[in-house]
């Protein structure tokens, strides 16, 4: 990074955005959640150039999102299977799916329905408090530094929030 560029803040959102923050990475993850495991299948389903796909998959393997597993008689080819950190990205992809259906696609109906295999009904996942079970909206939480907060996060969250009014658009 050159001296004239601003360094990313030392926080979890910045680190996650650095790893996941491009279109192809999220589309690779979407395909993995749809069951895609093999390089040729990713390339076919995404229409992505082999060099970009190879680069993204290599990064995702290096960062522990995917694990490589040999398959076939010669065991010289590999499948990309989601590791625990990769499976834990599922709620993020579901949130993007729901937000995209609500604000970006033309259809008034969901583009993908998530059927809950345990009860057989259509699922509509949402964010809830793990203590009381109530749904969580933006105005229902206050960010405070956690035990692992960096100095940047502690300093940032010690500042009072800017004054806003009910009619603020931005």
Task: Say what the pLDDT of residue 4 is.
Answer: 40
> Please, are residues 65 and 85 in contact by the beta-carbon 8 Å criterion?
yes
| Residue 61: closest CA among 80, 45, 48 | 80
Q: How far is Cα 138 from Cα 75, in angstroms, rounded to an integer?
A: 49
Query: What is the pLDDT, as a whole number, of residue 5?
Result: 45
Q: Alpha carbon of 86 to those of 49, 99, 134, 150: distances in Å?
A: 22, 20, 27, 24
Average pLDDT for consecutive 10-residue bins of the chain (170 residues)? 48 90 94 96 95 97 97 87 97 93 88 93 91 92 91 87 62
Q: Which CATH class is domain 16-107?
A: mainly alpha
Q: What are the extents of the domains in the chain? A: 16-107, 126-159
The pLDDT of residue 11:
84
């Amino acid at each position: 990074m050159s001296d004239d560029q601003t360094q990313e803040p030392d926080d979890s959102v910045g680190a996650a955005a650095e790893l996941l923050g491009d279109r192809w990475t999220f589309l690779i993850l979407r395909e993995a959640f749809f069951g895609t495991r093999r390089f040729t299948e990713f390339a076919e389903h995404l229409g992505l150039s082999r060099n970009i796909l190879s680069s993204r998959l290599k990064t995702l393997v290096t960062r522990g999102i995917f694990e490589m597993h040999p398959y076939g008689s010669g065991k010289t080819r590999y499948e990309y299977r989601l590791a625990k950190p990769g499976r834990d990205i599922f709620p993020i992809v579901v949130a993007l799916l729901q937000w995209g259906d609500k604000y970006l696609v033309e259809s008034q109906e969901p583009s993908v329905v998530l059927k809950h295999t345990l009860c057989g009904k259509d699922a509509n996942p949402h964010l809830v408090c793990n203590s009381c079970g109530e749904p969580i909206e933006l105005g229902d939480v206050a960010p405070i530094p956690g035990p692992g907060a960096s100095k940047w996060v502690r300093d940032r969250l010690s500042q009072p929030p800017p004054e806003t009014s009910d009619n603020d658009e931005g």
